[in-house]
Structure 1
Amino acid sequence: MTRKLSFLWLSVVFILSALFLAACSDDQDTSSTDSDNGEESDGGSEEPVTLSFFSADGVEKSFDDPVAQKITEKTGVKLELDYPVGGNDEAIPLMIASGDYPDLIFAKGDIGKLIEAGGVIKLDELIEEKGDNLKAMYGDQIDRLRRSLDDPSIYTVGTNGVETAFWETSGTFQVQLDVLRELGYPEITTLDELEAALTEYYEKYPEIDGQKTLPLSLLGSDWRWLITVGNPAGFAAGLQDDGQWAVNDETGETTYKFLLPEFKEYFKWLNGMNDKGLLDPESFTHTYDTYISKISSGRVLSVADQNWNFADADKALIADGKEWRTYAPLPVTISEEQTSKALKDYGFSGGWGIAISSTSEHQEKAFEFLDWMASEEAQILVNWGVEGENYDIVDGKRVMQEDDLERMQSDADYGKETGVGFYVYPFPQWGNGAVDSNGQSITPNTEQQIIDNFTETENEVLAEYGMENWVDWFPPTEELGISNHGAAYNFTIESGSDLEIIQQKADDLTQQRITQAILGDPADFDATWDAMIQELEDMNIEQANEAMTEKTKNTMELWGTN
């Protein structure tokens, strides 16, 4: 039977409750807010729930910038940000060993270890019951979040944009604008053409600003070996980025990529560059800070790197008035027989993402937070910042303020200080090809915005080549098609499996042997390479190929793309 309290009695209860709450300490457990949906928090008096969040790609930062404050205002959630100190890759195994997990975890490739340890929860029911924003965002691609055919559950959301537009490229060779100008704006599409350009410029200018010119510098002394040594070899071979694998997108056949003859050809070229004094001799010994310092000085003529890895150096060059020392991306392949896949559309590849821990006391609140981050309101906030502070509405459209545009381009700390763009990755994101309910771009990074942000120097060089954007140099996305398997580096490899063990051994071996081959006498290169291939065969790399082929085929079956 339903009872109705009188207005007077309700008033008494309200007053007594208020007095009781006022007497409580400020640090009282707030887990009761788990039942809130996070959307009623505007102007509310409840203390926000603090969720601990570990990101494998995180940096030291507090959750107190203007965008973070708005997120808390809208969701009732504050994040306590944690990250692997010193690039420690043992953070996830240590969590598993201790059983002490943060509320939210972005584990990258270690997500499989967490799943097998029971450290994270399945999200299927929560998505179905209260994941309206996530369901709207992922749409018919939500199956790409599922783990596998054997375990078709969803454990993570986020990381990659659902809709991708290809207005920029990253990871290929990049060469200084001044090299292009000095040499009369040559076409550079092969390794031989790149080497010829670097050689000619280096002979003219053996020093820049009183320091030795470095024709090509890499960073092979830590995990960045993968993105400055290993991955560029695949791009030059005309492959899409599948991590350590090469995939036949029609058949699903997957091969450990360093077994391919194209990779031997690429690294033999690097060996020749080193022998001729065109490769920075410290490429495999210097630290990240030293590498960035060299690029920032303007004396490095070319790099093979992801934009985000040397973005600070690029901004420093612009801030120092050295625009001609910034870089143009090149569609360089081993020879004219290969086609650059830099603009390849991988589709939404699922895989890695943010998970909710099994020990969290705020699981529902954590999920509601992630779902809100997928909403249109959140996407506008994290991409554009705060209206009136970072952008304005002009004629009904969002327009970034001039100061923010300038700082985006030249200030490496802009995202950390303002929060603008900082909470896009690895959270759920619509992607830079998406539009909001008014038909406006969900991110400020439209192609026109990118073009508008080019420096005068970039525009001068682009005009010489008859282009508006650097991507005009590359084979267009439409011609390359959409990947049937996504990206193999997103596949979950079971912890302790033969595949994981063999790949780890193979990765350690190839990094060591290829480095030796690059730095060795050219007369010894073939023998060093052949010995490495034999060592890979001896560790049963073919078994790993078969296991990865099965994963690729299963992924294509799960997604319905086979």
Structure 2
Amino acid sequence: MKKRLSVLWLLIIAGILIFTACSNGSDSVDGEKDTDEPGTSEDNSKDIPAEPVTLTFYNEDGEEKPFDDPVAQKITEKTGVILDIDYPVGGSDETVPLMIASGDYPDLIFAKGDISMLIEAGGVIKLDDLIEERGDNLKAMYGDQIDRLRNSLDDPSIYQVGTFGVHDVPLETSGTFQIQLEVLRELGYPEITTLEEFEAALTEYAEMYPEINGEKTLPLSLLGSDWRWLITVGNPAGFAGGYPDDGQWSVDTNTGETVYKFLEPEYREYFKWLNGMNAKGLLDPESFTHTYDTYISKISSGRVLSVADQDWNLYDARYALIDAGMEERTFAPLPVTLSEDHIHHGLMDYGFAGGWGIAISSTSEHQELAFDFLDWMASEEAQILINWGIEGEHYEIVDGQRVLFEETRHSMNTDGDFSRNSGVGYYIYPFPNWGTAAVDSNGQSITVNTREQVVANQLDVEKEVLSEYGMELWIDWFPQQDELQRSNHGAAYNFSIPAGSDLQIIQQRLDDITETRITQAVLADPAEFDALWDAMVVEMEEAGAEQANEEMTKLTQNILELWSGDVE
């Protein structure tokens, strides 16, 4: 899915846990000092170009921005590389196919799920030998999880690195139902863990306050008019049904059995509830027609009581509410499920996700330099730079520890353009990164967002509400990771489905069917819901749902075998 990189650094969450990043024990990620640690001047003898070299970089999640902020300038100083970043304009569906058709590739490519097309076309190179010969930092970072970078059982080569943290631990949730802090305060801090309780709270508050700031109160608003249908309509249904986020799939992580998720009974139950919300006037009637800007504007006005969305999609609205002095109209995440019998998987541990990453093109004239750049980005020096910024400008050293300047910390939490303008946090995604649970060679968290920092960053009204619930962080409300099984397959939305395969074609058909038919079912008269849902299931079966389930199951099982460490 597309992401706005200007706010993605805010999703980078951390703990001060110590993890061992590789089997040889020579990585500073585990907190042990090593005389040959990656990122030091003794690291290797790679030459930095006498004059900076510009590498072209296609970033499928990119945006128009020059590589000239303070952090970018420091990266250039350390690597001799300037990035000329290209990004998809007006959607990315055709960008990679056009590259392949023309044979004109940038030096570096972040193609997300389209990497299989580039591999098949010979547009990207294998990285195995480069990793072995000159990838000390990457080997140390990935350690015994490096198999998760491999392409497939048939071709277990490594073509890409980066995107997701190797060791992550959540301090925040995202993508769940969220409700205004003011609603919780006004209703006396009710427990809300089921859809029934969620609906009751929205109903009661909306009856008390039919208007907010002179405009009609909207109990629940979604954004189902564009690709965000997937994250505000489709994904919340899975969380409510007790499923982890596997994109469009439901996966048994032990057996690998995989089913197109909208065939699962819990999804039907969820959307029947949402249909009832619409019939009762509790769902914003424009949820499937308004634009992103209109959606954000509504939330920014303070009259939207709840949403079901990713945090990164809401930050503009959050900043607007804070700027307008309506901090109490910002949101708290809820562990809402269909019933108490379902377990919320918002804190699910997916392990290192593998999947997406940055590749080097087969036509690049600077392949070794491009690789050295990616390897340097995995070093301790780089990880500190991209997470913390520049010493003396963004942080200082106090008693041997990095401490953010108060101005930096404040800007991180109130200025939506801070990361974009400063570069702090901007280059974490989609580049190689240690993850939010990693620590440096001095034992300090590699990310700025430790548990203590997350607490310190909370708004006063957040602290007030959390205190009333006897919690310190919002994640305290959710089932904890040690209560949930760790995923053995990562997350299915990261799988690289072969381009042009029956599976890819059928899934696209199924996605088109469900987005259209579920929208119709939600907006229909409740008496028509069951018939509409049954008709959709028949349509999915006719489109090849059973075949898709079989092929996706095989792909998942291949991933489990590929990641077992037994594949040569």
Q: Are 2:455 and 1:432 equivalent residues in the alignment?
A: no
Which of 442, 449, 458 is the equivalent residue of 1:445?
449
CA distance in 1, matches of 2:547, 2:100: 28
5 Å-filtered alignment, 1:68-87, equals 68-87=72-91
Structure-to-structure mapping, 1:89-488, within 5 angstroms: 89-488=93-492
Deviation at 1:206, TM superposition (A): 1.0
What is the rounded CA distance, in whole Å, between the counterparts of 1:201 and 1:86 in structure 2?
Answer: 40
| 8 A contact 2:161–2:431 mirrored in 1 | yes
Amino acid paired to 1:62 = P
Give the superposition deviation at 1:561. 8.6
Aligned-partner residue type, residue 443 of structure 2: G
The count of aligned residue pairs is: 524
Structure 2 unaligned blocks of 5 or more = 1-43
SS at match of 1:139: helix
What is the letter of the counterpart of residue 546 of structure 1? E
Q: Kindly state the Cα deviation for residue 395 of structure 1 after the two structures are TM-superposed.
A: 1.1
What CA distance in whole angstroms lies between the structure 1 residues aligned with 2:364 and 2:286?
Answer: 45
Structure 1 unaligned spans of 5+: 1-36
Q: CA deviation at 1:88?
A: 3.5
Conserved? CA contact 1:316–1:410, under 8 Å = no
Cα deviation, 1:178-225, whole Å, max 9, x if unaligned, reads: 000000000000111100000110111111111111111111111110
**d(CA) in 1 for partners of 2:206 and 2:393?**
46
Q: Deviations over 1:243-269 (max 9, x none)?
A: 000001121110000001100010111
CA distance in 2, matches of 1:193, 1:223: 29
Distance 1:86 1:460 in 2: 43
Q: Contact 2:355 / 2:496 at 8 angstroms: preserved in 1?
A: yes
Structure 1 moving runs of 4+ over 4 Å: 37-41
Match of 2:59 in 1: 55
The answer to which structure, 1 or 2, has the higher relative contact order (CA under 8 A, 6+ apart) is: 2
| Cα offsets for 1:485-534 (capped at 9, x unmatched) | 11111111001111001000000110000011111111111111000000
State the shift of 1:40 in Å: 5.2
Aligned-residue CA RMSD (Å): 1.4
User: Deviation of residue 38 (structure 1)?
Assistant: 9.0
Contact persistence 1:38–1:76 (CA under 8 A): no
Query: What amino acid is the match of 2:158?
Result: I
Q: 3-state DSSP class of the match of 2:144? A: helix
Instruction: Please identify the structure whose Cα radius of gyration is greater.
Output: 1
> Hey, what's the Cα distance between the residues in 1 that align with 2:336 and 2:156?
39
Letter in 1 for 2:542: D
Q: Measured at CA, do residues 166 and 561 of structure 1 come closer, stay the same or move farther in structure 2, by a change above 3 Å? A: farther
Preserved CA contact (<8 Å) 1:38 1:369 = no
Compare the two structures and name the one with the higher helix fraction: 1
Deviation at 1:39, TM superposition (A): 5.9
Read off the aligned partner of 1:133 and give its amino acid letter.
N
So what's the TM-score if we normalise by structure 1?
0.92
Give the Å deviation of 1:481.
2.6
SS at match of 1:556: helix
Contact 1:101/1:360 (<8 A) preserved: yes
Alignment partner of 1:512 is 2:516: yes
> Is the CA contact (8 Å cut-off) linking 1:39 and 1:75 kept in structure 2?
no
Contact 1:317–1:325 (CA under 8 A) maintained in structure 2: yes
TM-score, normalization by structure 2 = 0.91
Identity %: 72
More deviation, 187-196/313-322: 313-322
What SS is found at the alignment partner of 1:240? coil
Moved more, 214-223 or 85-94: 85-94
